[in-house]
Amino acid sequence: MTQKNIMGGIFIHLRPSKETFQERSMKWWITFVVIVAGTAVVLAGLVFLAAISRSGIGLQVVSCTFIFGVIILITGAARRGMIHEQRLTIRQGNILLVLVSAILVAIMAEVGYITIADPVLRASLPEAMRGSSLSTSLVLGGVLFSLIILLLYEGYPILSHRGSPGFVAMSGLLIVFAIVYMTAVSWWIVPYDPTRLDVGPYGGAPSLQFPLGTTALGQDLLSRVISGGGIMLQVAIISVAVCFSIGVPMGLAASYRGGLPDRAVSLVMDSIFAFPGLVLAIAIAAILGPGVTNMAMAIAVVYIPSYFRVVRSQVLTIKELPYIEAAIVMGARNRDIIFRYILPNILPSAVVVMSINFADAVLTAAGLTFVGLGLPVDVPDWGWDLTFGSHEYVTGKWWSITFPGLMIVVLALGFTLAGEGLNEVLTPKLKE
């Protein structure tokens, strides 16, 4: 069993194939150094924040997730080694990995539960933090941290086969994971309570005490920047999940069946697709009113057609291929043809659309917040901070827009880079 056959897990669709890929540029190692250095800087920053956090247990939370990641890494390496020596099959190795992570998740949840049950700690927590349990932060943070480590460790040999697109995809995913991780543990590492008003001066400039300055309501901008990704990510994840689970099956069903239903659905989808997305999202969000789910639904409606169109065009091509004909001749059921023969071949393109869609969802969510369809003031949200800062910066308070805005750019950039890279890695035939 060769090295390239044993790659499993999250890179199941990323198996390297040297034959189809031609190395274009040798500059990718610069990218790799930048990626690793960037990750190290981000982690150092997080540890520093954790050390000065107001909750007092930020360092414990972060180190718990670090340990989680290291254990997963060791298990992953052991699994790979044992598979390589043929002491385990791939399936057994994957089961081992899943088992270890399940045990770790259980331990983390237990640790979080015990700590949060401590009445002294509980009483010292600010009002908004009592609802968000420590277990969630620990489990989510741990899983994400191990994903980051796995990406660096397992992704490197696979993606280096793909040259620069592989590293573009990897850096994009790393940015995204880093931001999600930061958001997951944010409540425990913020220096101030992000929901509280007047913790500092009103619209104060960056200083030692408030490194990114304060908002016009006296909130600490650093704390809000750290914890502000939650809303964006929730909206993006919900809307993308809805889009994906409606657009892909619809595209599959309509194009596989063909005929009149296909034409009718295509016409509906085309007319939504032709429409300026933001205008439609604004109209829907204005009717549904504020709220995370409503915002996500407004965005979801707009982006369903992009999945539908991509899936449809792919299925129309694949349907004509000889192996599908062979399956039909051999009497395979429609269900088998769709799910076993067609779906795996269209998934890579759908994943690429999904990744770009994440960036669009984040930008649209920010846009909706900007036109006044966002969430209430006490929820930390980059979009809201940026919108609120737009009344402030005319007086020269550049920090009020710069930092929340940059965070949105970085998150959208992460998704876009991931999409760009995955596009070239997963669908190499589209390239040039």
Residue ranges that bind other proteins, judged by CB under 8 A: 24-25, 27, 267-268, 270-272, 274-280, 282-284, 286-288, 359, 363, 366-367, 370-373, 386, 390, 393-394, 396, 398, 401-402, 405, 408-409, 412-413, 415-417, 420, 432
Cβ proximity of 181 and 411 under 8 Å:
no
In the complex, the smallest distance separating the C-beta of residue 274 from other proteins, rounded to whole angstroms, is: 6
> Least CB distance from residue 421 to other proteins, whole Å?
10
Residue 139 or 361 having the CB closest to other proteins: 361
Residue with smaller CB distance to other proteins, 21 or 153: 21
Minimum distance from CB of 267 to other proteins (Å)? 6
Q: In the complex, what is the shortest distance from the CB of residue 87 to other proteins, in angstroms, rounded to a whole number?
A: 44
Based on CB atoms, which residue is closest to other proteins, 89 or 271? 271
What φ, ψ does residue 130 adopt, rounded to 5°? Answer: -65, -35
Name the residue nearer to other proteins (CB basis): 58 or 277. Answer: 277
Report the nearest approach of other proteins to the CB of residue 406 (Å).
8
CB of 388 to other proteins, least distance (A): 12
CA distance 202 to 195: 15
Give every CB contact of residue 29 below 8 A, 6+ residues apart in sequence: none
CB of 43 to other proteins, least distance (A): 23
Q: Which is nearer to other proteins, 260 or 330 (CB)?
A: 260
Our CB check for other proteins shows the closer of 151 and 285 to be 285
CB of 172 to other proteins, least distance (A): 9
Measured from the CB atom, the residue of 7 and 225 that comes closer to other proteins is 225
Cβ closest to other proteins, residue 154 vs residue 420: 420
Residues whose CB is less than 8 angstroms from the CB of residue 100 and which lie 6 or more positions away in sequence, other chains included? 71, 72, 75
Written in H, E and C, the secondary structure of 24-75 is CCCCHHHHHHHHHHHHHHHHHHHHHHHHCCCCCCHHHHHHHHHHHHHHHHHH
Cβ atoms < 10 Å from Cβ of 378:
14
Query: Smaller CB distance to other proteins: residue 120 or 394?
Result: 394
CA distance 393 to 272: 37
Shortest gap between Cβ of 24 and other proteins (angstroms)?
A: 6
Assigned token pair, 83: 């598979």
Residue 231 contacts residue 379 (beta carbons within 8 Å)? yes
Say what angle helices 90-117 and 58-84 make with each other, to 10 degrees: 170
Contacts 24+ apart (CB under 8 A), 128-134: 128/193, 128/195, 128/378, 129/55, 129/187, 129/193, 132/187, 134/57, 134/61, 134/188
Residue 220 β-bridge partners = 214
Give dist(CA 348, CA 340) in Å, integer.
Answer: 14
